[in-house]
Amino acid sequence: MTNQRYGQFCGLARAAEIVGQRWTLLILRDLSVGPRRYSDLLAGLPGIPTNTLAGRLKELEEESLLARAVASEGERSIVYGLTPRGKELIPVLDALSRWGAGGMRSPREGEIVTTASLVAALRVAAGDGIAPKAWNTRYTIRVGDVEINVIMRDGIIMVGPGAAEDPDLVITAGPQIRDLLAGELDAVTAIKSGAVQLEGDPMLLERFAEVLRVPYSPFAPVSLQ
């Protein structure tokens, strides 16, 4: 499977030959959350053909963006994880993610939220990952049947898949969570309108919305000059 080449001695062209292939960016996004098995990736990327996934994983391994490893002793299952070279790409994925989110308003027909997409979105929203030191809070965020956690601890924000243990606040929302992160919907309105449902202290949603904030640039079609 010889990658298509652009024939230019250019960093962007080289990058495009790798990440410009269909599904590759989403595979990398899923792996950016943590090492995953083949079947995890397949489940997190609805619509990807199995041969395409297998081919991409092989190519990305050849490019040293990811490595395969046996999950644990005795297990037959294989996990794929990003190498340092692959991890270098995470800030770029996040920048692209932020740009793409600026063009999003509401889900199109049939669009879903996956665990990795929600983790990536909140990782972007967390920005530099710094919160006030005193805010030690554990959040679980539910969108559909997806659950992720956001932990603020000692001034650091961590985002990961799965519910938080003993959460201080459980936030259940639909795609409108995007508007909350975008600052287009404030916490009070979100609660009143029913856009989010809470289990726990509602004040903790204010902190959440204050720290996890994507300053999407306003997007208006314009003409040149």
Partner DNA sequence: CTGGATCCTCAACGATACTG
Partner DNA sequence: CAGTATCGTTGAGGATCCAG
Question: Distance between CA 105 and CA 28 in Å, rounded?
Answer: 24
**Using CB under 8 A as the criterion, what x/- string covers residues 146-165 for binding a copy of itself?**
--------------------
Of 66, 70, 61, 62, nearest to 81 by C-alpha is: 66
Beta carbon of residue 46, minimum distance to a copy of itself (angstroms, whole number): 6
Question: Distance between CA 151 and CA 174 in Å, rounded?
Answer: 21
Choose which of 9, 11, 50, 221 interacts with DNA (CB under 7 A).
50
Of 83, 81, 24, nearest to 53 by C-alpha is: 24
Residue count at the site for a copy of itself (CB under 8 A)? 72
Q: For residue 51, state whether it binds DNA (rule: CB under 7 A).
A: yes
Closest CB to DNA among 16 and 182? Answer: 16
Q: For residue 84, state whether it binds a copy of itself (rule: CB under 8 A).
A: yes
Of 69, 89, 87, 88, nearest to 79 by C-alpha is: 69
Measuring CA to CA, how many Å separate 24 from each of 75, 89, 179?
27, 12, 27
Interacting stretch for DNA, rule CB under 7 A, among 34-42, 81-89, 197-205, 217-225?
34-42
| List of residues contacting DNA (CB under 7 A) | 1-2, 4, 21-23, 37-40, 47-52, 54-55, 57, 68, 71, 76-79
